[in-house]
Amino acid sequence: MTNNKIPPHFDSLNDMAHFFDEIDTMELEAEEADVKFVRAEQPDEELEQISIKLPKRDLAIVRAAAKEAGIGYTTYIRMILRNYVKKSFPSQVKGR
């Protein structure tokens, strides 16, 4: 096979799977991507572990949203709660 191949457009997942099963991926042309990595906000105070019961449907929605965002669902729930607390109780959050 020739070096610097560009993967073709695939009409189906099976076509894509077959292509990558049959090719040495080292022969593929590298694609440049402008990727920015952002470190998650580090908590400014100690975290406390809790247990919480949520409706299954709500949890399924949150898990899907977290997966789409590329983070764990517990981190996603913590982000939602932190944003709510910051907006709802700004005078109590200042200085933390």
* 25, 56: one domain: no
pLDDT of residue 28: 76
Q: 70 lies in which domain range? A: 49-89
pLDDT of residue 60: 96
pLDDT of residue 76: 94
- Give the integer Cα–Cα distance in Å for 88 and 84: 6
Task: Please name the residues in contact with 7: beta carbons below 8 A apart, sequence gap of 6 or more.
Answer: 19, 28
Task: Please name the residues in contact with 67: beta carbons below 8 A apart, sequence gap of 6 or more.
Answer: 73
pLDDT of residue 2: 47
Q: Enter the tokens of residue 59.
A: 């949890």
Mean pLDDT by 10 residues, the chain (96 residues): 66 87 78 71 79 95 93 93 92 73
Domain assignment present for 11 = yes
pLDDT of residue 1: 44
Domain assignment present for 69 = yes
Burial 47-72 (b: 16+ CB within 10 A, else e): eeeeeeeeeeeeeeebeeebeeeeee
